[in-house]
Amino acid sequence: MSANSDRARLLITCPEKPGIISAVTSVLTDHHANIVKFDQHTTDPQDGVFFMRIEFELDDYEGSYEKLTEDIHVITEEYPMDWHLSSKKKRKRMAIFVSKMDHCLMELIWRWRSNELPVDIPMVISNHADLKDEVESHGIPYHHIPITKETKGQAEQQALELLEGKVDFIVLARYMQILSPNFVSQFPDQIINIHHSFLPAFVGANPYARAFNRGVKLIGATAHFVTNDLDEGPIIHQDVKQVDHRYTVEDLKTSGRHVERSVLAQAVSWQLEDRITVHGNKTIVFT
């Protein structure tokens, strides 16, 4: 492979229509692309929605880019599809929002440092100053934007200005503020939250105390996209851990933290590799 070669991913959503796979792969073949991974899903083979993710290698990705996108565009006349093309060489940019708890933040930073998460982190934004030194010690800018009931709109505006043109998606790593509809609308399907329970169990606040009171034998976490329906956004990933009567609320929180960080890190990893497509209130995740 030449130095200009790159690996790219093509994500497609389209009303189901026979022939779409061969139409798209023919374009890639014409460009001498080498398909490395191929996944597809359909909600209904007759008249559902079709989803496709193709990962391919191209010798001169940059040089071919314009013509390739033109050729894909031609197909859209017959197949009215949404499509998104991205390359591995161009790192995504992720902002992290955090409050005081650092476990999810540290997991993301640790995986970023060890190159497990090939991403740029242009900034961390927090409504508290607690984690400033820790974050800055890794060379990541930390913006402390305090929030009170009165200043919420203004604080969000400040955050939006910082983010403007700088990030591709946002991760709420135990950020204990509810984002306004205005803010959320600026990043559709681009804000990943970690919910500290396995939704829809224990929607809302204090899930660990409520899990303790209910006497459940499982605790878990859910990574989901943020929409304006609180805790109702499309679920990306979930996992649980068995617990028993000996667990105090504190023990549940401790165990929960480990589930939270692995679930969130996994969701972010999939986001970086364009593996997630949102369809209505669900996700298709091509793992």
Q: Hey, which residues are catalytic here?
A: 231
Q: Which is nearer to a second copy, 5 or 158 (CB)?
A: 5
Instruction: Tokens for 86, please give them.
Output: 């991205």
Q: Which is nearer to a second copy, 53 or 170 (CB)?
A: 53
Residue with tokens 């200043």: 151
- Which position among 160, 178, 209, 218 is part of the footprint of a second copy (CB under 8 A)? 218
Instruction: Tokens for 198, please give them.
Output: 């396995």
**Which residues neighbour 56 within 8 Å (Cβ) at sequence distance 6 or greater?**
7, 8, 9, 10, 28, 33, 34, 35, 36
Is residue 64 at the binding interface for a second copy, with CB under 8 A as the rule? no
Stretch that binds a second copy, among 72-80, 171-179, 181-189, 199-207 (CB under 8 A): 199-207
Minimum CB distance to a second copy, residue 127 (Å)? 20
Cα–Cα dist 26/78, whole Å? 14
Give the CA angle between residues 216, 218, 222 to the nearest 5°.
Answer: 120
Q: Which is nearer to a second copy, 152 or 241 (CB)?
A: 241
Q: Which is nearer to a second copy, 84 or 166 (CB)?
A: 84
137: number of Cβ within 10 Å: 10
Is residue 285 at the binding interface for a second copy, with CB under 8 A as the rule? yes
Is residue 246 at the binding interface for a second copy, with CB under 8 A as the rule? yes
271: number of Cβ within 10 Å: 24
Residues 211-245, buried b or exposed e (16+ Cβ, 10 A)? bbeeebeebbbbbbbbbeeebebbbbbbebeebee
DSSP 3-state of 91: coil
Is residue 75 at the binding interface for a second copy, with CB under 8 A as the rule? no
Is residue 87 at the binding interface for a second copy, with CB under 8 A as the rule? no
- Which position among 2, 18, 161, 181 is part of the footprint of a second copy (CB under 8 A)? 18
Is residue 128 at the binding interface for a second copy, with CB under 8 A as the rule? no
Residues that bind a second copy (CB under 8 A): 1, 16, 18-19, 21-22, 25-26, 28-29, 32-42, 45-46, 57, 102-103, 106, 110, 114, 116, 137, 198-202, 214-218, 220, 234-240, 242, 244-246, 254, 258, 262, 281-285, 287
